Amino acid sequence: MIRFDHVTKRYAPGAAPALDDVSLEIARGEFAFVVGKSGSGKSTLMRIALREQMPTDGEVMVAGHELRQMSSRQVPRLRREMGAVFQDFRLLPGKTVTQNVAFALQVIGKPRHAIRTLVPETLEMVGLADKGKRLPHELSGGEQQRVAIARAVVNKPQILLADEPTGNLDPATSLDIVQLLDRINRTGTTIVMATHDSAIVNEMRRRVVELQEGRVVRDVAEGTYTPERTTAEPASQDKPEAPVSWEPEPEEDFDPSAGYEGGA
């Protein structure tokens, strides 16, 4: 469904690559987490898959489209087969929940009767059937993210990309959201979710692709947030500054959530 073939992305010539020779294949119907620190290339990977960015080198295949050879006129067709959700929800503040979801169909020219059935159906699926007339600011963060998910899947895409969808949510709500994504995955939608949330990754036990400085350093089925061997060791969750014996480069930027294990 998604294939990266020796993909390199440099934002400026000569700069360190955001993605460095990444090869990756995600099959139809799969649910994959992409993990890694900030700046490890997760978002770049997502943006390339959405063709918001072009790779500097390598081939990318998404839903049967060869992205490098695709003309900009064909991009809309690709995006209609994909859904995307983000950390910041990206809802239109002036439109109600129903209007926000319907908007995604209106702008691709779906007939009115299709919109009338698809929108309530999708809102029902994400559990917001009774909140259709609310405005985004009247909803909780979790509900807003559900609206964003509804908007992403209302056109029944083959692929759903989620770039840190739980980044702004509390742990319980995050789990609700991921369980919603899991349900969507079970209907056959391929899901790729970039995340920092180790609790969720460890809870779900799905495929984990770890990026580090733009390279794939780990790709395991039913994986955890950090390599299994370290889960056996005591996690140092309270004192990020303290020397960490198993960490080879202690001066590196330390993401507090990275050491947090088994939170669920």
- Interface characters, 144-163, with other proteins (x: CB under 8 A): -------xx--x--------
If the CB atoms of residues 114 and 217 are measured against other proteins, the closer one turns out to be: 114
The yes or no reply on residue 243 touching other proteins (CB under 8 A) is: no
Joined together, the tokens standing for residue 135 give: 């405005």
If the CB atoms of residues 154 and 169 are measured against other proteins, the closer one turns out to be: 154
Which residues, other chains included, contact 220 with Cβ-Cβ below 8 Å and sequence gap of 6+? 207, 208
Closest CB 163 distance from other proteins, rounded Å: 11
If the CB atoms of residues 37 and 79 are measured against other proteins, the closer one turns out to be: 79
If the CB atoms of residues 116 and 183 are measured against other proteins, the closer one turns out to be: 116
Q: Give the number of residues written for the chain.
A: 264
Joined together, the tokens standing for residue 66 give: 């060869």
Closest CB 112 distance from other proteins, rounded Å: 4
If the CB atoms of residues 3 and 80 are measured against other proteins, the closer one turns out to be: 80
Closest CB 2 distance from other proteins, rounded Å: 17
The yes or no reply on residue 50 touching other proteins (CB under 8 A) is: yes
The span from the CA of 51 to the CA of 181, in Å, is: 22
Show contacts with other proteins in window 82-121 (CB under 8 A).
Answer: 82-84, 90, 92-93, 103-104, 106-112, 115
Angle between helices 112-126 and 141-153 (to 10 degrees): 140
Closest CB 50 distance from other proteins, rounded Å: 8
Which residues, other chains included, contact 73 with Cβ-Cβ below 8 Å and sequence gap of 6+? none
Three-state DSSP state, 37: coil
Candidates 16-24, 32-40, 81-89, 169-177; binding stretch for other proteins (CB under 8 A)? 81-89
The yes or no reply on residue 79 touching other proteins (CB under 8 A) is: yes
If the CB atoms of residues 110 and 218 are measured against other proteins, the closer one turns out to be: 110
The closest of 150, 173, 171 to 160, measured between CA atoms, is: 150
Residue 257 falls in which region: left (phi positive, over 0), alpha (psi -120 to 50) or beta: alpha
Identify any residues that bridge with 191 across adjacent strands, giving them in sequence order.
31, 160
Angle between helices 141-153 and 171-186 (to 10 degrees): 20
If the CB atoms of residues 36 and 83 are measured against other proteins, the closer one turns out to be: 83
The yes or no reply on residue 77 touching other proteins (CB under 8 A) is: yes
In this structure, are residues 108 and 75 in contact, taking their beta carbons and an 8 Å threshold? no
Show contacts with other proteins in window 2-21 (CB under 8 A).
Answer: none
Residue of 10, 47, 68, 80 that binds other proteins (CB under 8 A): 80
CA dihedral 259, 211, 62, 115 (to 10 degrees): 30
Closest CB 161 distance from other proteins, rounded Å: 10
Joined together, the tokens standing for residue 138 give: 């009247």
Binding site for other proteins (CB under 8 A): 50, 72-73, 75-84, 90, 92-93, 103-104, 106-112, 115, 151-152, 155
